[in-house]
Structure 1
Amino acid sequence: MTSREHHLVELVDTDGAPVGSATVEQAHQAPGRLHRAFSVFLRGPDGRVLLQQRAAAKTRFPLRWANTCCGHPAPGEDLATAAGRRLAEEVGLDGVALTEAGVYAYRAQDPVTGRVEHEYDHVLVGDLPAAWLPRPDPGEVAAIRWVEPTELRAELATDSGSYAPWLAGVTECLVRYLDAGEESAGGR
C-alpha cells in the first residue's frame, strides 16, 4: 500500500458540499464514500489531449487508459493547487494554468481489486506549452498517448474496457467545455 492511501480526502454530499473526511483507503473501500476528486486534461497546441495508461501498481483500475492525471485535494485544499502537485508528480509538469470545465459524479467498482471510486470529480483543462517534453513517473504512468477529443469519444463507445470508468463522463465534460468555447469565440 502506498503512503498516498493514508492521505485525507474530503467527503462531500451529492451537491459537492463538504461533510467530513476519510483516508484515501477508507473512501475507496466498498461500498465507497462520495468524495471530492479532480481529473485533468492537458491539451497540446494541435488540440489533442494527453492520456495516460495508469501504472500496474495503481490500487484502482491499473493499466487502464485515463485522462492526463487525476487525484484528490486534501480537505479544504484548492483544486488547482492539488492538481498542479499531481501534474508534477505524474507527468513532470509545473505551472500550467487550469480551468474548471465541469463536474462529473460517478461510482465504479474495480473488478480486479474490489476498490470503489465514488467521486464528485471536478474536470480541469489546461493548455500545454509547445516546448513541453513529457516526463511521466513510471510508478504512476505506464504509457502516454495523444488523441483528439472526438476520436476519444468514439473509442470509448466501442472499447470501454480499456479505459478507466470515469473517462467517458469526464470526456463529455471536456467536449461540452470545448464546444462552448468555440461557440463564444465564433460569436464575437
Structure 2
Amino acid sequence: MTADREALLVELVDDAGAPVGQATVGAAHRAPGMAHRAFSVLLADPGGRVLLQRRAAVKTRFPLRWGNACCGHPAPGQPVTEAANVRLGEELGVAPLPLRELGVHVYRAEDPVTGRVEVEYDHVLLGRIDADHPMSPDPAEVAELRWVALDEVRAGIDARPDDYAPWLAGVLAKLNLDSQRAL
C-alpha cells in the first residue's frame, strides 16, 4: 500500500497556494522537495483533548513519530475536506465528519531517517468526535492512538521534539481561542 501511495498525484503550489502543476507523492518528497498541497486533520473530543496517532514504522516520512489524527494530500483539484474524509476512513476507519478549516501551516522538514523532504502548504482541519467513538486503525498507517490534552501535547513537543512529527506544533498553533472554544 505504501508503494501505491507514492505513485498518487499531488498538486504542486506556489508560495500563495495557487496550483502550478502536479507530481507523484514520491517525486514531491525527494530532496530538495517540491511545494505541494496537503492537509492535517485534528480530531477533538468534547473535553478538548486531541487524538494523536503514532505513525506506523513503514511510513516513508517520519515513521514512529506522534502526529495529529491523520494527514494526507488531495489529488489535483480535489476538495481538501473530501480528501481528508477519505483518509480518515483509510487510516482510522472513521466515517466522514464535518471538518472546519482553521488555516494553513506552511513548512519544510527533512526526515533524517528516510531522507525524504516535506515542503507542504498544509490545510489544517478540525473535526469533533467522542473519544469512545469506534475506530479501526490501519496498522500500515497507525502504530498507536491516544487522546491527549492540548497542554500535555505542547509540553511533550517542547521536551522531546524528536518524538513528534515536525509539523505538529505548527498544526496545533492553528487552534486559536475561537477554535478551542469549539472543542
Q: Is TM (by shorter chain) over 0.5? A: yes
Shift of 1:182: 5.9
Aligned to 1:96: 97
Q: How does 1:34-113 map to 2 (within 5 A)?
A: 34-113=35-114
TM-score (norm 2): 0.95
Partner of residue 159, structure 2: 158
Per-residue CA deviations over 1:130-171 (Å, capped at 9, x if unaligned) read 651121111100000111112211111111010011011101
Q: Distance in 2 between matches of 1:147 and 1:81?
A: 26
1:60-97, CA deviations, whole angstroms, 9 ceiling, x for partnerless residues?
00000000000000000001110000000001101210
Which one is further off, 144-153 or 32-41?
144-153
Provide the C-alpha distance between the structure 2 equivalents of 1:87 and 1:181, rounded to a whole number of angstroms: 20
Larger radius of gyration: 1
Using a 3 Å threshold, how does the CA distance of structure 1 residues 97 and 111 change in structure 2: closer, same or farther?
same
The residue type paired with residue 173 of structure 2 is: E
RMSD: 1.4
Identity of aligned pairs, percent? 59
CA distance in 1, matches of 2:46, 2:6: 35
Structure 1: state its 5+ residue gaps. Answer: none
- Matching residue's letter, 1:180: D
Cα distance in 2 between the residues matched to 1:181 and 1:136: 26
**Equivalent residue number for residue 119 of structure 1:** 120
Aligned to 1:144: 145
* Count of aligned positions: 181
Which residue identity does 1:142 align to in structure 2? Answer: A
Distance 2:136 2:65 in 1: 19
Distance, in Å, in 2 between the alignment partners of 1:182 and 1:52 is 20
> 4+ residue runs of structure 1 moved beyond 4 angstroms?
none
Distance change >3 Å, CA 104–CA 181, structure 1 → 2: closer
Q: Does 1:26 align with 2:20?
A: no
3-state DSSP class of the match of 2:87? helix
In the superposition, the TM-score normalised over structure 1's length comes to: 0.92
Q: Distance in 2 between matches of 1:150 and 1:165?
A: 17
Report the CA distance between 1:180 and its aligned residue.
2.2
Please name the residue that 1:180 is paired with. Answer: 178
The one-character-per-residue Cα deviations of 1:26-61 (angstroms, maximum 9, x if unpaired) are 000000000000000111121101000000010000
Query: Which blocks of at least 5 consecutive residues in structure 2 are unaligned?
Result: none
**AA in 1 matched with 2:178:** A
